[in-house]
């Protein structure tokens, strides 16, 4: 690649895989510390080119790379024979091009048989060129002063001191921008692939289940009203079956709960902008779940010795279930262990699946297993209600 020095000096990486052997210097592939050879042909022989070559021998980099100065022919021969990790050619005029900010090409050949050291050499060369560009922009006049004095054999303590003072002043002027840096870097997590669910939307299932729970409990309390009015007593001696009566009560409860839950769902769908294709599945889930809750509230009502005791008992169960089941606070706002318990409650189970339905990408997202659980709960509760009516509740 080639570019003007206004960016940085380009590095030309070339390789010849057909001519280079693969049984070459070990670069640490077996877990040992890698060490290789960098051949440098310095055709410029200037102070600046010497700095580039010397940088590879400094510090920890010097423990990894041995720098050898060679001619172009020697370097080409040795890199083609696989006797080095890299071969860098610094062309004549590199230092002058650096001072004048004109384009210049560095040629870097790396050994394809090695896996670590060629990459290190390439990265370090790029970093050195970038560092040189910014140093030139900041200390260009001081660098030129020293080089001119050296070329004219006029370098002395005065020139060195003047250059040092000028460099110090520039460092102090730039310190406010560098320490701390003027640009703050903040690492942000990538956005989720799925859109985030609005927190207000998470309240909707709990509110719907609260309305369903109150409706189911109120409808189940009608068993006591039917008993007090003698309807159940007459039903025992009528030709109709009690099971048909219970099924009729369940269908009436389903219709009532569907109307109440449906109105709440429509309002929630309008407010939150939920797609209407999810309304039928959400409504059916709410109605079927409401029948299951009605059936078991009916069981609780019939187990109580009187209507007052039934009201107290169901109230003592109702409000803790609402609290734990996500009607007052959505599960997302609760600690994980409380939310896990809440999802195990009957209304929490229903609310959790309803949340899945209204936040999913498509309708009918509730799994078949959950539908079977709700259906089995409704059937078992209605069967117990039928048995309890036969067992004496209707004759009381």
Q: Which domains does the chain have, with CATH numbers?
A: 11-178 (3.40.1710), 200-393 (no CATH)
pLDDT tens digits for 203-257? 999 999 999 999 999 999 999 988 888 888 888 777 668 888 999 999 999 999 9
- Statement: residue 99 has pLDDT above 60: yes
- What pLDDT shows up at residue 239? 66
Residue 323 tokens read as 């609290």
Of 282-286, 315-319, 331-335, which one has max mean pLDDT?
282-286
Decide which of 165 and 384 is more confident.
384
Q: Could you give phi then psi for residue 106, rounded to 5 degrees? A: -100, 135
State residue 47's pLDDT score.
74
Burial call 62-95: b when 16+ CB within 10 Å, e when fewer: eebbebeebeeeebbebbbebbbbbbbbbbeebb
Mean pLDDT in the chain? 80
58: how many CB neighbours lie within 10 A of its CB?
Answer: 8
Lowest mean pLDDT among 133-137, 138-142, 176-180, 372-376: 176-180
CA distance 389 to 396: 10
Over residues 343-365, the pLDDT tens digits come to 999 999 999 999 999 998 889 99
CA atoms of 77 and 68, how far apart (whole Å): 14
pLDDT at 62 over 80: no
* 1 has a pLDDT exceeding 50: no
Report the pLDDT value the prediction gives residue 159, as an integer from 0 to 100: 63
The pLDDT of residue 5 is 40
């Amino acid at each position: 690649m080639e570019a003007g020095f206004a960016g940085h000096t380009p590095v030309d990486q070339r390789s010849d895989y057909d001519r280079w052997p693969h049984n070459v210097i070990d670069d640490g592939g077996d877990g040992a510390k890698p060490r290789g050879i960098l051949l440098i042909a310095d055709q410029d022989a200037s102070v600046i080119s010497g700095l580039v070559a010397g940088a590879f021998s400094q510090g920890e980099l010097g423990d990894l790379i041995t720098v050898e100065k060679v001619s172009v022919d020697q370097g080409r021969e040795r890199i083609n024979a696989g006797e080095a990790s890299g071969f860098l050619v610094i062309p004549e005029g590199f230092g002058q091009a650096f001072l004048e900010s004109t384009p210049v090409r560095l040629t870097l050949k790396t050994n394809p048989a090695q896996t670590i050291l060629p990459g290190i050499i390439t990265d370090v060369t790029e970093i050195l060129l970038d560092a040189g560009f910014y140093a030139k922009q900041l200390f260009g006049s001081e660098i030129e002063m020293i080089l001119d004095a050296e070329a004219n054999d006029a370098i002395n303590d005065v020139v060195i001191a003047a250059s040092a003072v000028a460099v110090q002043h520039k460092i102090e002027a730039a310190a406010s921008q560098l320490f701390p840096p003027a640009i703050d870097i903040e690492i942000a997590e990538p956005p989720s692939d799925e859109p985030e669910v609005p927190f207000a939307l998470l309240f909707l299932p709990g509110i719907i289940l609260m309305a369903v729970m109150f409706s189911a409990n109120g409808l189940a309390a009608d068993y006591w009203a039917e008993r007090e009015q003698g309807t159940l007593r007459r039903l025992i001696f009528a030709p109709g079956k009690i099971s048909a009566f219970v099924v009729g009560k369940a269908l009436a409860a389903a219709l009532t709960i569907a109307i109440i839950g449906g109105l709440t769902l429509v309002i929630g769908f309008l407010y939150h902008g939920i797609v209407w294709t999810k309304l039928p599945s959400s409504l059916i889930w709410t109605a079927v779940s409401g029948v299951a809750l009605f059936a078991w509230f009916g069981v609780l009502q019939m187990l109580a010795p009187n209507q007052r005791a039934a009201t107290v008992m169901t109230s003592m169960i109702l409000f803790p279930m609402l609290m734990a089941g996500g009607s007052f606070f959505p599960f997302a706002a609760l600690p994980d262990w409380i939310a896990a318990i809440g999802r195990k409650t009957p209304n929490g189970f229903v609310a959790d699946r309803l949340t899945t339905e209204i936040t999913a990408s498509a309708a009918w997202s509730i799994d078949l297993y959950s539908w079977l659980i709700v259906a089995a709960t409704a059937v078992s509760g209605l069967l117990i209600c039928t048995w309890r009516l036969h067992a004496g509740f209707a004759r009381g």
